[in-house]
Chains A and B, each alone.
Chain A
Amino acid sequence: MFSSSKATATAGRKRVGRRSPLATVSLIVVGLLTTGGAYALFTSTATAETGSGTTSAVSQDKVNEGQKLFAANCATCHNMSGSGTTEGPSLIGVGAAAVDFQVGTGRMPAAANGPQALEKPVQFTNEQIQAMAAYVASLGTGPSEPQSKYLKENGNAANGAELFRINCAMCHNVAGAGGALTEGKFAPSLKGVSSKHIYEAMLTGPQNMPVFNDMNITPQDKADIITYLKYLEKNPSPGGFQLGDLGPVSEGLFIWIFGLGAIVAITVWLTARSH
């Protein structure tokens, strides 16, 4: 699509003219985000490629290793055979993508019973996650991890933005800031989530999120959505600080507390007697 080259070109050009303190801060933030993102991207795409490259001939060793890890860490809730218990759903047919997302974001193993499993520090190494993914994938066919060509963040951001608004924004907010669901559940913020995990979440529908299979949102569309989200991360708002992207509520709080607060402080100075 036409904007793909453009997006990267603007990102490159933008690096040059940043000189203000605010810009420096945002530059650092952007730098950290992009390097971090790039790092995550390289590592994850590397594993994804090895993963997808060997899916057909997944080494039995790896599946065995995964089975051991599964038995030790997951079987309490998901049953030894992965067929699920009252505590956790069946994992037969959820595929490697679901495992990579759930374990790779630290949501699994779940800490405690709550409305939903929360993001936590990741408990396993990449190797171990891949092993478990291989084991679960061997239980039944399901979505495998995404191909790296869809994670390059160079799709059509405009198409991605439109699809994001229609399919995702009602839960995750138009800027990906997250939002509330029923009975204490919530749609998490998408900021800083790796492209791969975004892709896998769409593909597998973790927890209460609906599934967006490739017939609903094609792999290229998913790549576009990721491109848009990464565009938002790479390009801070032209208007200045974003106040959490929470819309009118944070704007209203800001004007009352800081705007009117500052002005009231000034009125006190204004009417105080001079020494």
Chain B
Amino acid sequence: MADHDDETLAGSAVEKAEPQKISAGTAVIPADPFENPGEPQHHIRMTDKDPAEEKRAARQVSTLFFASIVFSCLAVAAYIAFPIKDGDTGSIRLNNLFLGLGIALGLLAIGIGAVHWSKAIMPAREITEQRHLTRGSDATRAKAVEVFELGNKESGFGRRSLIRNSLFGALFAFILPGVVIFRDLGPKVDPNVVLRHTLWKKGMHLTLDPSGTRIKAADVTLGSAFHVIPESLLDSEDLLEEKAKAAVLLMRLKPEDLHEPEGREDWQYNGIVAYSKICTHVGCPVALYEQQTHHLLCPCHQSTFDVTENCKVIFGPASRPLPQLPITVDDQGYLVAQSDFHEPVGPSFWERDRA
């Protein structure tokens, strides 16, 4: 390209493009550097010296390629010979194993053959290629500068500021609809409102997950842990979304082990307490209940809550206690909620503590 550059046209642009002397920064330039001794003597392979060796290597390579053909055919055969039988995981295992082995060995034989070919038979002599500075030659750069200057001159991009700036404005504005259009990725309601409510409400029965069977208080024996969902959940349209907020763990401790804070003494029933299962850290289900130590552990990030102390955090990255669901019994002795949770469940968010 540079060959065709017209030297006379280059003009002042060359000076502009002319780089400063390349700086070595704080590098120490040795006064009398060592001389590069040049390449050491070339290494002669067995296959270079001995024609028989070369022949042998060639035979090995072709054998590997032939083997690859065989393995690929075996893979096809395995595909047919090891069908998947309905309900039999063993047949899937065999299909996976033999189909895979056939393909794998076929591929490996090609690969090893090709590498062996290149290493043992193709010329091993190393070749030296010269490098050039990455930057374009001065003439090329001058031409490039000129192209830009010409473009600028002919279009008036630098001079006609009104055109230029209005174009910038337009290019910015045209992105806006592309951003706004993503608003409807989510529904119209304010999430800060939705996050505060769950299916629990006064009189809602506590039922077993997943069957939806009501739970009698008398059946919750000491040391038990029941995984609980609200009775109306199974009829809910947004089952998973509601379950993701409403899942509850029910435990029975000795009443004297519980240290309920003031105003919440009647949220439990005979030592039966119900806490949200959704971790206040990032929302994993906290369900590892230890019935002797009364610790609740989250398996994702190891936040540990003390059930006897109102599920306050005693270890791990969580900050807030698990929200408690106030419960009582109905006239038949089934456990029911007294109300919804009194605070949002799950991970904290910016407007969580706004009324």
Is A208 an interface residue, CB under 8 A from the partner? yes
CB distance from A68 to the nearest CB of B (A): 29
Main secondary structure of the interface of B (DSSP, over half): mixed
Known contacts A22-B97, A216-B226, A273-B124; A10 and B288 CB within 8 A of each other: no
Determine which of B97, B225, B226, B288 lies in contact with A240 in the assembled complex, contact meaning CB atoms within 8 Å: B97
Assembly CA distance A210 to B208 (angstroms): 16
Is A249 an interface residue, CB under 8 A from the partner? no
Contact assessment for A207 and B292 in the assembled complex, using a CB-CB cutoff below 8 Å: yes
Is B47 an interface residue, CB under 8 A from the partner? yes
Is B131 an interface residue, CB under 8 A from the partner? no
CB distance from A3 to the nearest CB of B (A): 9
The interface bits of chain B over 308-331 (1 if a CB of A lies within 8 angstroms of the residue's CB, else 0) are 000000010000000000000000
Assembly CA distance A39 to B85 (angstroms): 29
Within residues 1 to 56 of chain A, which ones have a CB less than 8 A from any CB in chain B?
Answer: 6, 10, 13-14, 17-18, 20, 22-23, 26
List, in ascending order, chain A residues with CB within 8 A of B88's CB.
10, 13-14
Is A114 an interface residue, CB under 8 A from the partner? no
Q: How large is the interface on B (under 10, 10 to 19, 20 to 34, 35 or more residues)?
A: 35 or more
Contact assessment for A185 and B98 in the assembled complex, using a CB-CB cutoff below 8 Å: no
Inter-chain residue pair count (beta carbon < 8 A): 123
Contact assessment for A274 and B91 in the assembled complex, using a CB-CB cutoff below 8 Å: no
Assembly CA distance A20 to B94 (angstroms): 8
Within residues 194 to 229 of chain B, which ones have a CB less than 8 A from any CB in chain A?
Answer: 208-210, 215-216, 219-227
Contact assessment for A211 and B221 in the assembled complex, using a CB-CB cutoff below 8 Å: yes
CB distance from A175 to the nearest CB of B (A): 14
List, in ascending order, chain B residues with CB within 8 A of A270's CB.
115, 119
Contact assessment for B224 and A212 in the assembled complex, using a CB-CB cutoff below 8 Å: yes
Determine which of B210, B224, B299 lies in contact with A211 in the assembled complex, contact meaning CB atoms within 8 Å: B224
Determine which of B96, B115, B224, B297 lies in contact with A216 in the assembled complex, contact meaning CB atoms within 8 Å: B224
Determine which of A10, A166, A187, A207 lies in contact with B227 in the assembled complex, contact meaning CB atoms within 8 Å: A166
Binding site for B on A (CB under 8 A): 6, 10, 13-14, 17-18, 20, 22-23, 26, 162-163, 166-167, 170-171, 179-183, 185, 187, 205, 207-213, 215-216, 235-240, 269-270, 273-275
Assembly CA distance A275 to B124 (angstroms): 11
Assembly CA distance A181 to B124 (angstroms): 60
Assembly CA distance A216 to B221 (angstroms): 10
Q: Identify 15 new A-B residue pairs, CB closer than 8 A, beyond the known A17-B94, A216-B208.
A: A6-B87, A17-B90, A18-B94, A23-B93, A23-B94, A170-B299, A181-B288, A205-B223, A210-B225, A210-B289, A211-B221, A211-B223, A211-B224, A269-B115, A274-B120
